[in-house]
Each structure stands twice: as structure tokens, then as C-alpha cells.
């Protein structure tokens, strides 16, 4: 599955909806056993959640948006398919969450392709389920530092901390992802799927048990004047960077 939402594969509501529909089709088609998620935008896996879906929007829109974000995470995280991330670009925040929700992550070895939950750098907070997935992946202490400092790990550091499973030369990302897929597909589906569920269900359940409250929290948080100001400043910084 090649994500294509130029220029930066931001996860807009429309794009999230497209991804959800595509994933559901693959999930329900019994001829598919696995997917490799990668990007069609050069140098960018995904710029994460679309800031314009959260900035200057009314509460109803923010609620609809957050519901779609939850939906995508649950769909990928609990997928019965083998999901491999072939990460061929930078993946901050929501892009990192998408990567972390895969069963295995292969990152292209390019110092620009940093990965991490950088929410604090935007003046916002990663929700508890983003945090849970990071803690599950790199451990409590490393997650504590990474989250507070908004670390975006370049490939060598990403491998060392365990936020990705493998770093390979850029031209080998897709072939490596395919080899890894073959290895995972050698396991009987039912055994692998039940095991995946066993490991991941408690984390997913924490959100499933309070989805509406999580949406309300998000809407309350994102609607605050101070948070809207932080988003404004960050968006301006992105614009200024262009000169
Ligand atoms: C509560 C939890 C909430 C949030 C979790 C999140 O996911 S928040 C989003 C976090 N994402 C980021 O911090 C990434 C921000 N973007 C960048 O750092 C750079 O854009 C990136 C991805 C490194 C690409 O750099 P490049 O120089 O190639 O492109 P440029 O910065 O000029 O961006 C092109 C246009 O895209 C807009 N844009 C970038 N990221 C986002 C985004 N996440 N949402 C919406 N729009 C985004 C950027 O403003 C540019 O717009 P333009 O109108 O052309 O000026």
C-alpha cells in the first residue's frame, strides 16, 4: 500500500477515510494475508496528523477527525494481516504512530528520515494510546525521555532504541520488507493472529473502553486558546522555513 497525499502525506480526514476503506477491503479479502505500508511521497513517510484539521476548526469537526484517527489506529494495530512498515521517509507524530502500529518496521538509512513522537515540540500532548504504543515498543524509561523531549530519532538512534526493527540502505527498503513478509507469512495465520491479539488487545482495549471520553478530551484540549496559539506558531514556522 503506497500512501499518496502530496506534498507530505499528512493524515487529513479525507486521506484517513481513504486509508480506512482500502484497509478494510484488504482485510475482508481472504486472498490477502499481509500488507506493506510505504510512501509514494519522496523523503516523507507521513508528516503525521493534518494540522489543518485541528487548527481553526469547530468542535464537531475536531470530534469527527479524532474519531477517524482512532479508527485508523485500531484498524492497523489490530489487523489480522501481517503489517510491515517500509519507512522511506521522515515520520513524525501520527506518522510514527502508524509505523509503530505495524508488526515490523524497516527504515531507510537516510539521516533525514527521523522517526518519533514529537508532539511536545508543537506544544501539544501525545494521547495515552500513542504513549502506550511507544512504551510497548521501546520501554518505559526510553519512552519517558523521548515523549517529553519530543525526540525525532535519526535511523542509527532509532535502531538502537528499538523504535524500528531494521535500518537498511534506501534502495533495499522494499526488498527487505518483502523478505520480512515472507518470514512472517511462513507462520500459520490462525496462530499468529491469535498471538498478535493476545499481545495487543489490552492496549487497544484501553482506548476501546473510553473512545467517546477520549474524543471529548481531545476536543476540549485542542480547542483551548493556548493550544490553538501553539499550532498557529508551529504552522507559521513551517511556512517561514520555506523562506
Ligand atoms: C494530539 C495529538 C496530535 C497530533 C499528532 C500529530 O501528528 S501533529 C503533526 C506533527 N507533524 C509534524 O510535526 C511535521 C510537520 N512538518 C514538517 O516538519 C515538514 O513539513 C516535513 C514533513 C519535514 C516536510 O518538509 P518539507 O520541507 O518537504 O515540506 P514543507 O515543510 O514545506 O511542507 C509542505 C507543505 O505541507 C504543510 N504541512 C507539513 N506538515 C503538515 C501537517 N502535519 N499537517 C498539515 N500540513 C502540513 C506545510 O505547512 C507546507 O504547506 P504550504 O501551504 O505549502 O506552506
Reading phi first (left if > 0) and then psi (alpha if -120 to 50, else beta), residue 9 is in left
Distance in Å, CA 136 to ligand 1 centroid? 26
Sketch the domain layout of the chain as residue ranges.
1-239
Candidate of 8, 39, 63, 70 to mutate for ligand 1, largest count of ligand atoms within 8 Å of Cβ: 8
The whole-number pLDDT of residue 241 equals 82
Cell of 150: 519530543
Q: How many CA atoms lie within 13 A of 106 on its CB side?
A: 21
- The 10s digit of each residue's pLDDT in 191-207 is 999 999 999 999 999 99
Atom 14 of ligand 1: nearest residue by CA position: 47
Mapped onto helix, strand or coil, the DSSP state of residue 34 is: strand
Band (243; pLDDT cuts 50, 70, 90): low
- Tell which CATH classification among 3.40.630.30, 2.10.260.10, 3.90.226.10, 3.10.129.10 matches the domain 1-239: 3.90.226.10
- Sorted by sequence, the CB contacts under 8 Å of residue 125 that are 6+ apart come out as 119, 221
Residues comprising the chain, all counted: 243
Do residues 87 and 164 touch, judged by C-beta distance below 8 A? yes
- The 10s digit of each residue's pLDDT in 67-119 is 999 999 999 999 999 999 999 999 999 999 999 999 999 999 999 999 999 99
Q: CA dist 189 to 11, 29, 88, 192, Å?
A: 30, 14, 27, 5
Q: How far apart are CA 161 and CA 146, in angstroms?
A: 10
> Is 49 annotated in the active site?
yes
Amino acid at each position: 500500500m503506497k500512501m499518496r497525499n502530496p506534498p507530505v502525506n499528512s493524515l487529513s480526514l479525507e486521506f484517513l477515510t481513504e486509508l480506512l476503506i482500502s484497509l478494510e477491503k484488504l482485510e475482508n479479502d481472504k486472498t490477502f494475508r499481509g500488507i506493506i505500508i510505504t510512501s509514494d511521497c519522496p523523503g516523507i513517510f507521513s508528516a503525521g496528523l493534518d494540522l489543518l484539521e485541528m487548527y481553526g476548526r469547530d468542535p464537531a469537526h475536531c470530534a469527527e477527525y479524532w474519531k477517524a484517527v482512532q479508527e485508523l489506529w485500531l484498524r492497523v494495530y489490530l489487523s489480522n494481516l501481517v503489517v510491515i512498515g517500509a519507512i522511506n521517509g521522515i515520520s513524525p507524530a501520527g506518522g510514527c504512530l502508524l509505523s509503530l502500529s505495524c508488526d515490523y518496521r524497516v527504515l531507510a538509512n537516510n539521516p533525514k528520515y527521523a522517526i518519533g513522537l514529537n508532539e511536545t515540540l508543537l506544544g501539544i500532548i501525545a494521547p495515552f494510546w500513542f504513549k502506550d504504543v511507544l512504551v510497548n515498543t521501546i520501554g518505559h524509561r526510553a519512552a519517558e525521555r523521548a515523549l517529553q523531549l519530543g525526540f525525532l530519532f535519526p535511523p542509527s538512534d532509532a535502531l538502537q532504541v528499538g523504535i524500528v526493527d531494521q535500518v537498511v540502505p534506501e534502495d533495499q527498503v522494499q526488498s527487505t520488507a518483502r523478505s520480512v513478509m515472507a518470514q512472517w507469512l511462513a507462520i500459520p495465520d490462525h496462530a499468529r493472529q491469535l498471538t498478535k491479539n493476545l499481545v495487543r488487545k489490552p492496549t487497544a482495549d484501553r482506548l476501546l473502553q473510553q473512545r467517546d471520553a477520549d474524543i471529548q478530551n481531545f476536543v476540549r484540549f485542542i480547542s483551548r486558546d493556548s493550544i490553538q496559539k501553539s499550532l498557529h506558531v508551529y504552522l507559521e514556522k513551517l511556512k517561514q522555513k520555506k523562506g
